[in-house]
Amino acid sequence: MILVDNETKIDLLNNEAIALTIIKMMRERPDKPVTLGVHGDWGAGKSSVLEMIESSLKDEKKILCIKFNGWRFQGFEDAKIALIEGIVTSLLDERPALSKAKGAAKDILKRIDYLKAAKRGGGLIWNATTGMPSPDQIETVVGAVKNFGKNPSKEDLEGAAKQFSGLLKPAEARRMPEEIEGFRQEFKKLLDEAGIDQLVVLIDDLDRCLPDTTIETLEAIRLFVFSERTAFVVGADEAMVEYAVRRHFPELPASGPHDYARNYLEKLIQVPFRIPALGDTETRIYVTLLLIGAVIGDEDEDFAKLISAGREKLKRPWESKPLDAAAIKEALGEKAEDVQEMLALSDQIGPMLASGTKGNPRQIKRFLNALLLRKGIAEARGFGDDIQLPTLGKLMLAERFMPTEFGQIAANAASAGDGICKDIDLLEKHLSDTTTPQKFDEGSLAEEWVGSEIMQEWASLEPKLGATDLRPYLFVAKDRKDYFTASSKLGRLAEIVEQLLGPKITVSSMLADIRALTAPDAASVFEELRSHIMGNGDLTKRPPGADGIAALVEAHPVLEANLLDFLEGLPQDKIGIWPTGGWVIKDPANMARFDLLMARWSSVASNKPLQAAATAIRKAKK
Mean pLDDT of the 416-426 span: 88
* Angle formed at CA 348 by CA 342 and CA 350, multiple of 5 degrees: 90
CATH of domain 14-74+198-276: 3.40.50.300
Q: How many H helices and E strands in the chain? A: 33, 5
Predicted pLDDT of residue 349: 87
Q: Which among 8, 9, 1 is positioned nearest to 294, based on CA atoms?
A: 1
Q: Are 358 and 277 in contact (CB under 8 A)?
A: yes
Question: Structure pTM?
Answer: 0.61
Helix residue spans in 95-209 (DSSP H): 96-100, 104-120, 135-138, 142-145, 154-164, 176-194
Instruction: Give the neighbor-by-neighbor strand order of the sheet with 34-39.
Output: 63-69, 198-204, 230-235, 34-39, 271-274
Angle at which helix 238-248 crosses helix 260-268, to 10 degrees, equals: 120
Q: What does the domain layout of the chain look like in residue ranges?
A: 14-74+198-276, 96-194, 280-485, 491-621
Q: Is the pLDDT of residue 98 over 60?
A: yes
Q: Which residue has the higher pLDDT, 98 or 25?
A: 25
Q: Are 528 and 488 in contact (CB under 8 A)?
A: no
Predicted pLDDT of residue 148: 45
Mean pLDDT of the 584-591 span: 93
Predicted pLDDT of residue 97: 65
Q: Torsions phi, psi of 537, nearest 5?
A: -70, -30
Predicted pLDDT of residue 469: 94
Predicted pLDDT of residue 268: 82
pLDDT per position as a tens digit, 102-112: 566 677 777 77
Q: Which of 118-122, 231-235, 426-430 has the lowest mean pLDDT?
A: 118-122
**Sign of the torsion formed by the C-alpha atoms of 343, 345, 347 and 351:** negative
**DSSP three-state, residue 263:** helix
Confidence of residue 245 (pLDDT cuts 50, 70, 90): confident
Confidence of residue 169 (pLDDT cuts 50, 70, 90): very low
Measuring CA to CA, how many Å separate 370 from each of 202, 287, 301? 32, 14, 27
Predicted pLDDT of residue 255: 57
Q: Is the pLDDT of residue 134 over 50?
A: no
Q: Which of 349-358, 460-469, 558-567 has the lowest mean pLDDT?
A: 349-358
What is the distance between the alpha carbons of residues 66 and 86, in angstroms, rounded to a whole number? 9
Q: Torsions phi, psi of 181, nearest 5?
A: -65, -40
What is the distance between the alpha carbons of residues 398 and 480, in angstroms, rounded to a whole number? 13
Q: Is the pLDDT of residue 488 over 70?
A: no
Give residues with Cβ within 8 angstroms of 454, minimum separation 6.
401, 402, 405
